[in-house]
Amino acid sequence: MSSDPVRRGRLAGGRPAEVAAFLSSMDADRWIADADIRVDIAHLLMLDQQEIIERDASSAVMAALLGMYEHGVPETVFDDEYEDVHAGIEACLIAASGMDKGGRLHMGRSRNDEVATCIRIRLREELLAHMAGLSSLRAALLEQAERHTETVMPGFTHLQHAQPTTLGHYLLAYEQALSRDFERLWDGYGRVNRSPLGAAAFASTGYPIDREMTAGLLGFPELVLNTMDAVSARDFVIETTAACTILMSTLSRMAEEIVLWSSAFVRFVTLDDAYCSTSSIMPQKKNPDTAEIMRGKSGVVAGSFTAAFTAVKGLPMSYNRDLQDVTPSLWRAVSESGACIGIAAGIISTATFHPDRMREEAGRGFSTATELADVLVREFGLPFRAAHNIIGRAIRSSVIDLAVLEAAAQELSGISLVERGLTGERISDALDVDVSVRMRSAPGGPAPETVAEAIAIQHAALEDDRIWVRSEEGRLQAAEDEMIREARRLVDE
CB of 114 to ligand ARG, least distance (A): 7
Burial of 215: CB neighbours in 10 Å, binned 0-12, 13-18, 19+? buried
Nearer to ligand ARG, 111 or 297 (CB): 111
CB of 219 to ligand ARG, least distance (A): 22
Q: Which residues ranging from 322 to 381 are in contact with ligand ARG (CB under 6 A)? A: 323-324, 327
| Binding string, residues 421-440; x marks residues near ligand ARG by CB under 6 A | --------------------
Neighbours of 354 (CB within 10 A): 17
Q: Is residue 111 involved in binding ligand ARG (CB under 6 A)?
A: yes
| Binding string, residues 5-44; x marks residues near ligand ARG by CB under 6 A | --------------------x-------------------
Neighbours of 347 (CB within 10 A): 25
Q: Which residues ranging from 130 to 169 are in contact with ligand ARG (CB under 6 A)? A: none
Rg over alpha carbons for the chain, rounded to the nearest Å, is: 31
Nearer to ligand ARG, 237 or 382 (CB): 237
* Contact status, residue 181 vs residue 250, Cβ threshold 8 Å: yes
From residue 278, alpha-carbon distances to 282, 285, 286 in Å are 8, 5, 5
Nearer to ligand ARG, 12 or 282 (CB): 12
CB of 49 to ligand ARG, least distance (A): 26
Query: From CA 445, how far away is CA 449, in angstroms rounded?
Result: 9
CB of 28 to ligand ARG, least distance (A): 7
Cα angle 189-34-241, degrees, rounded to a multiple of 5: 35
Annotated active-site residue 135? The verdict is: no
Number of residues in contact with ligand ARG, rule: CB under 6 A?
10
Catalytic residue (one of 263, 279, 397, 471) = 279
Which of 68, 91, 115, 242 is close enough to bind ligand ARG by CB under 6 A? 115
Which helix (H) or strand (E) segment is 120 a member of? Answer: helix 111-147
Nearer to ligand ARG, 326 or 487 (CB): 326
Which of 2, 59, 112, 232 is close enough to bind ligand ARG by CB under 6 A? 112
Report the sign of the C-alpha dihedral through residues 218, 224, 228, 233, in that order.
negative
Q: Which residues ranging from 79 to 108 are in contact with ligand ARG (CB under 6 A)? A: 84
Give the rounded distance of the alpha carbon of 313 from its chain centre. 23
Burial of 410: CB neighbours in 10 Å, binned 0-12, 13-18, 19+? middle
3-state SS class at 352: strand
CB of 327 to ligand ARG, least distance (A): 6
CB of 84 to ligand ARG, least distance (A): 4
Cα angle 180-183-189, degrees, rounded to a multiple of 5: 150
Report CA dihedral (329, 333, 339, 344) to the nearest 10 degrees. 160
> Which of these, 401, 462, 456, lies nearest to 427 by C-alpha position?
401
Nearer to ligand ARG, 252 or 327 (CB): 327
Nearer to ligand ARG, 84 or 374 (CB): 84
Which helix (H) or strand (E) segment is 269 a member of? Answer: strand 269-270
CB of 320 to ligand ARG, least distance (A): 9
First-to-last CA distance in the chain?
Answer: 37
Query: In sequence order, what DSSP letters do the residues of 358-409 get, joined into one string?
Result: HHHHHTTTTTTHHHHHHHHHHHH---HHHHHHHHHHHHTTT---HHHHHHHH
Nearer to ligand ARG, 112 or 252 (CB): 112
Nearer to ligand ARG, 158 or 321 (CB): 321
* Contact status, residue 172 vs residue 443, Cβ threshold 8 Å: no
Neighbours of 29 (CB within 10 A): 25
CB of 96 to ligand ARG, least distance (A): 22
Q: Is residue 48 involved in binding ligand ARG (CB under 6 A)?
A: no
Catalytic residue (one of 71, 158, 280, 398) = 158
CB of 110 to ligand ARG, least distance (A): 7
Nearer to ligand ARG, 61 or 85 (CB): 85
Q: For the chain, count helices (H), then strands (E).
A: 20, 6
Annotated active-site residue 459? The verdict is: no
Q: Which residues ranging from 270 to 329 are in contact with ligand ARG (CB under 6 A)? A: 319, 321, 323-324, 327
Which helix (H) or strand (E) segment is 155 a member of? Answer: strand 152-157
Q: Which residues are catalytic?
A: 158, 279
Sites of contact with ligand ARG (CB under 6 A): 25, 84, 111-112, 115, 319, 321, 323-324, 327
